[in-house]
Amino acid sequence: MEFMARELPAHGGAFIQMEDEIASLGAVIGASLAGAKAFTATSGPGFSLMQEHIGFAAMAEVPCVIVDVMRGGPSTGLPTKTSQGDVMQAKYGSHGDYPSVVLAPNSVPECFTLTVKAFNLAEKYRLPVIILSDEVIGHMYEKVVLPEKGSVEVTDRLKPTVPPEWYHHYEHTTTGIAPMASFGDGYRYHVTGLTHDQSGFPTSRPEEVLALMQKFKNKEIRNARDFAMTEEYMMDDANLAIFAYGSVSRSARKAVRILRERGMKVGMVRPQIIWPFPKVAVEKMLDQARYILVPEMNVGHLRKEVERLSTHGRESIKGLNVLDSRLITADQIVERFEEDV
């Protein structure tokens, strides 16, 4: 926050401190509707407060980015300790069915690169994108080499090319993404959290509601390649695997090296995006590995997703779940492998 307060105005941006998290995301939505690229950041309790506005941004198809640095919970919990307890909230926190895009960095450099990616996805698909970090990464110091100015891929929202009188803010298109005019551009449109027609006005007609909900779902289905962000480590010849994300994946990477030295053919699959869930990469891992460990600092949020995709039963998929807000270590992962395999 202190960095952004200093740097954004120096580069033509604006920084506003709101009175609470609800107002914060409300200001982000308003800024985005006016044409700005806007984001806010919080931790678990503030993320809970933002859920209503996340649902509004999804329904109104407003691009925005929300950073959630997970900490121990529920409620006030352990404010200075780490956790991965917001994984399901990031997907299902607001009510109703809406597209959820959630990125999971595991380093300080990735906090930079995935923030750029988050903005590009938000602008391209007109939806809120969440960056799900955790306390360990939030307090970590690492070297970041910034790219040359102008070398970063930047995606801007699609702007209308038709006269204002022809414009529909939620037009049905072949791609499912309608051009988006900004307030002040001379285009008239309506924004609401209600189900709406192509002009943005509320509707309860079943065929219009169905078309709207299908459009939300198609943003994920039709653009699966954009949402397939995973990293493999030593998986070429692996018959054992670790599925880990966020700061825990750093411990898992070290554990892979230790287990390899002890003669086990272990590899790791790390999702950089957890919603939409990386189905293809996980199915490939399930076909390849006879044993899979999913270490998480929660009760097993993503392990259950891995189990859901398994056609061989759940016996080969195990969880290592730490709930005391301490980071899972490489030694704990190694010990679990030596017990089970």
In the DSSP assignment, the letter for residue 72 is B
Amino acid code (one letter) for 28:
V
Residue 254: C-alpha distances to residues 82, 139, 268 (Å): 19, 20, 10
Look at residue 277 in the predicted model and tell me its pLDDT: 96
Q: 151-209, pLDDT tens digit by residue?
A: 999 999 999 999 999 999 999 888 889 999 999 999 999 999 999 999 999 999 999 99
Look at residue 72 in the predicted model and tell me its pLDDT: 92
Give exposure, 187-226, as e/b (b: 16+ Cβ within 10 Å).
Answer: bebebeeebbbbebeebeeeeeeebbeebbeebbeebeeb
Reply yes or no on whether the pLDDT at 40 is more than 90: yes
Residues 6+ apart with CB under 8 A from 149: none
Cα–Cα distance, 79 to 213 (Å, whole number): 37
Question: Would you state the torsion angle of the CA atoms of residues 79, 85, 87, 89, taken in this order, to the nearest 10 degrees?
Answer: -80
In order of start, what are the domains of the chain with their CATH numbers? 1-227 (3.40.50.970), 228-340 (3.40.50.920)
Report which secondary-structure segment, H or E, holds 54.
helix 51-60
Q: For the residues 26-54, what does the mean pLDDT come to?
A: 97
Report which secondary-structure segment, H or E, holds 117.
helix 108-125
Residue found under tokens 């859901």: 308
Cα–Cα distance, 23 to 194 (Å, whole number): 20
Q: What is the three-class DSSP state of 260?
A: helix
Nearest-10 crossing angle of helices 330-340, 248-261: 50
Strand order in the sheet with 291-296: 230-233, 266-271, 240-243, 291-296, 317-321
Burial label, 307 (beta-carbon count in 10 A; 0-12, 13-18, 19+): middle
Nearest-10 crossing angle of helices 301-309, 279-288: 70
Look at residue 220 in the predicted model and tell me its pLDDT: 86
Cα–Cα distance, 30 to 24 (Å, whole number): 10
Look at residue 90 in the predicted model and tell me its pLDDT: 97
Look at residue 250 in the predicted model and tell me its pLDDT: 98
Look at residue 149 in the predicted model and tell me its pLDDT: 86
Q: What is the C-alpha radius of gyration for the chain, rounded to an integer number of angstroms? A: 21
Q: Do the beta carbons of residue 233 and residue 253 sit within 8 Å?
A: yes
Reply yes or no on whether the pLDDT at 313 is more than 80: no
